[in-house]
Amino acid sequence: MDRVDAMRLFTRIVERRSFTRAAQDLALPRSTVTEVMQRLEARLGVRLLERTTRQVRPTLDGEAYYQRCMAILAEIEEAEAAFTGARPAGLLRVDVHGTLAQYFMLPDLPAFLARYPDIQLRIGAGDRYVDLVREGVDCVLRVGRPADNRMVGRQIATLAEGTFASPAYLAQHGIPRSPDELDGHRMVGFESSATGGVLPLEFRQGGSLREIPLPQTVSATGAEMYVALARLGLGLVQVPRYRVEDDLARGILVEVLAEFPPEPSPVYVLYPQNRQLSPRVRVFIDWLATAFAQRLSPPH
């Protein structure tokens, strides 16, 4: 294994905190990983990694070497792509919100893979917090502004939101004409994955954003269940409009308080701030931005 490949292996061990997981990621025997790291430390004359029974951590020298390796490897990948005309290639690990993926990403995914046949895509779906570096993920697709200052990202879309309820719910509780008429109404609670608390309803009123918590009989932690509970007549919900287009067309849900919409939700692709984007990540983000724009464009 040459020096560049040894650098790639070392950075993967640091990111995955494991010899075994790094070996699996790079399709190498576990024994080869150990041998290469022993030779690398011997050649540099420093200890790069601290090994415990639970995980592997970089030493101070190892952390400094990791940062230099990341910069060198990014420059090599950029140079090779620029001068050889090589197509983006390799394993691309992404984590996406399942509902977003189904609506915006999956319909055009075969075209993306046909355009870049040398990319192998590994998709994780969920809305939990993902430690990109520790879990070996290249980027994540999320709704909402990034809260982790270790992440940087690109906003690729903005989702218009609305307030919705079932006809049965409105027949029982009445149709509110303004946020001031929400006394006696209920909402389906949506529990924030960041705080664990139930999010209030919000309305743009008089140039400012007004938050109104309502009583709830039931709450959910996932978007699919949240909308399903609204269909059952269990309360008001606020979701991006794309999520309920079919429900609105079929009369399963009805929009209320359209003149007082919630704040639109930004959609970001996030990646670690200390990692220069590889060509495969860059083309994936560009493609995602186009896919969102096409799906959100009004029909002609």
In tens, the pLDDT along 107-163 reads: 999 999 999 998 988 888 766 666 666 666 788 888 887 776 667 788 999 999 999
The CA-to-CA distance between both ends of the chain, in Å, stands at 56
What pTM was estimated for this model as a whole?
Answer: 0.72
Residue 222 has pLDDT above 90, yes or no: no
The stretches of 50-120 forming alpha helices (DSSP H) are 60-84, 98-100, 109-115
Residue ranges and CATH numbers for the domains of the chain are 3-84 (1.10.10.10), 90-157+266-296 (3.40.190.10), 161-263 (3.40.190.10)
pLDDT of the residue at 299: 58
Tell me the pLDDT tens digit for each residue of 69-88: 887 887 787 777 666 556 78
pLDDT at residue 232 in the model? 97
Q: How far apart are CA 217 and CA 210, in angstroms?
A: 22
Average pLDDT over every residue of 41-58: 89
pLDDT of 227 above 60: yes
Q: Phi and psi (nearest 5°) for 199? A: -75, 140
Mean pLDDT value across residues 165-194: 93
Residues 138/130, Cβ–Cβ less than 8 Å:
no
H or E segment to which residue 51 belongs: strand 49-51
Q: What is the pLDDT of residue 54?
A: 79
Is residue 127 within 8 Å of 268, Cβ to Cβ?
no
The sign of the dihedral angle between the CA atoms of 137, 139, 140, 144 is positive
Query: Are the CB atoms for 202 and 263 separated by under 8 Å?
Result: yes
Mean pLDDT: which of 26-35, 118-127, 265-274 is highest?
26-35
The average pLDDT across 186-202 equals 88
Structure tokens at 260: 């007082």
pLDDT at 140: 87
- State how far the alpha carbon of 261 is from the alpha carbons of 5, 10, 71, 92, 220, in Å: 53, 50, 45, 37, 22
Contact assessment for residue 174 and residue 183, using Cβ atoms and an 8 Å cutoff: no
What whole-number distance in Å separates Cα of residue 118 and Cα of residue 272?
Answer: 23
pLDDT exceeds 80 at position 298: no
φ/ψ of 136, rounded to 5, equals: 70, 30
How far apart CA 243 and CA 161 sit, in angstroms, is 9
Q: What is the pLDDT of residue 73?
A: 84
**pLDDT band, residue 3 (cuts 50/70/90):** very high
